Structure 1
Amino acid sequence: MALSAAELLQPLFAAVMIIALSLAMGVAALSPSKGSALISAATASAALRRLTYWACWLLGIGLAAYGCVSTVAMTDTALMAFPAALWLVLTKSHFGTMLWLSLAAWIAMLLGTVVVPLPLRSPLFILGMVGFALARAATGHAADQGFFSFSVLIHMAHILGASVWLGSILVCVLLTPAWSKWSAPQRNALAQRLSEVATVALAVVVASGLYNVARTLGPAANIWIAEYTWILLAKLCAVAIAAGLGLRNRWYWLAQLDQSAHDQVNGAAGFRRILIAELFVLLIVVALAAKLGTTMPAQ
């Protein structure tokens, strides 16, 4: 029973880590530079700092839980023998090495939030996020090509791109419940920044994702009978829907923010509605991606 529960909880806590990493990446990507229109919104800057702390602590909790349930899934250990099994995993397996790397990356992120309030200007915070993404990539299917192979680096880029995309949307949704009351320059600054960040992130996700699909399914002989393939197709469909919603915001609602005062208010409301829908779809993508990470690829 413990093994079955652990196998169910593994994707859940993997998803929690990705969401937390995405929140941190989103804050870093949207943190304003000095003198920007967004930085003049004191409430937005304070909210970004709070989100950074939440992201770090959620990431730490997710990492601890993921390490525990993964240990049970790997060793099928009983509760009384769990400490010994955990130590064995941490010291005698590649997975354990990547957990140590994840822990070091998390500590770097945590220290980065203390040293510099806005993480975009903290090299330690950025290094921690990249290190955490590398550790996640090196514990996935890409590691079959080698723990620090080109495939792992591409998958790391995929994780970073997806995290920036999801995180920027998540941060904007959390920042904008009352943004119709913001000044027009502040709204435009945030919306334009989001559009630029999400566009670059989507390009990285698509390019690295195509490589991952070719690497995973290219050698397979029985693609269509594998559960992995159908989960992957569902994920790709969800990504396409999220991208379509993003394009709707970029080409329609974003333009409304530059119109008359009445159109700006309507544009702000419409922009946020699409953001919420896109966030919901991207959370489905995360759930499917987490499930893929614990599913055997097509053979």
Structure 2
Amino acid sequence: MPRQSKGENPHGSPTVAWLPTNDHPTDKATFRFTAKVPERLTAIGNGQLLSQQTRDGWTTFIWDSTEPMATYLATITIGNFVVTESTTPSGIAVYVAVDPRQVAGSAAAVAQIPKMIDFFSSTFGPYPFASTGAIIDRAPDVGYALETQTKPIFSSTASVGTMAHELAHQWYGDSVSPQRWSDIWLNEGFATYAQWMYTEYNGGASVSQTFNSGSNYGRAASSSFWQIVLADPGPEDMFSSIPYNRGAMTLHALRGKVGDETFFRILRQWAAGHRYGHAATADFITLAERESGQNLDTFFDVWLYRKGKPTTW
């Protein structure tokens, strides 16, 4: 999920009251959606398209999501879309639906979906779902993108960076969900760091350059950016830049602390060990210490549990 304005809490399906649910990321289920719409429209859901049948001016779509999913990640999106279907080089089905007014502006991001999925798979481990894709709509009153499982949804034109962020969430946030909302850095810090890595891989700024930039570690120590506890930012800062940027910086600092080989082993083990489940910050610390063979109490205390700009760790 991209940043929302202060005061907005994470609400999914119950917000629009379209299905009864316990809207918490630890309560996952499989889903099958059936949508009957006028035949000129398309209905897109999570998972794979089981069938699409038109009769008497109406089309019925059946979507099946066989992997466990938190309810805030569920969607049925209905509209006038340009639909493309393809596969990644490794054979994962790709289903993309784009509002006609967003096709040109989103073309670069859409074209890179297979490349992103294969890059993240090589870095984080196998893609956790049977299909992938995106829904790019025109919904200016929404104002954000969401890591909707298997098909991230965008309320406006999708950029390459935001597409990478939302697809990285399929590993970190969707397959592995936070145990509590206070663990949100495990979602947004991971997806932001993945976005930084993809930018470097795609020929842009290096991860180290992004880490040290004025939007990140280059901020003054007096900045309010450093005055929130990352491991428990509270509802007002849950989707501010803090869980995103400081979460990603925590991962980059950990990478420097334990070395590349161990760091990427930790990321892969995190995705594999909690696949389709949930986990907390304490679980990540335990994993990092086990894989590195280091006592990381001071490191995580400085980066996660203290206010103030880290200077030594």
- TM-score w.r.t. the length of structure 2 is 0.28
Structure number with the higher helix fraction is: 1
- TM-score w.r.t. the length of structure 1 is 0.29
Which of structures 1 and 2 has the larger relative contact order (alpha carbons within 8 angstroms, sep 6+)?
A: 1
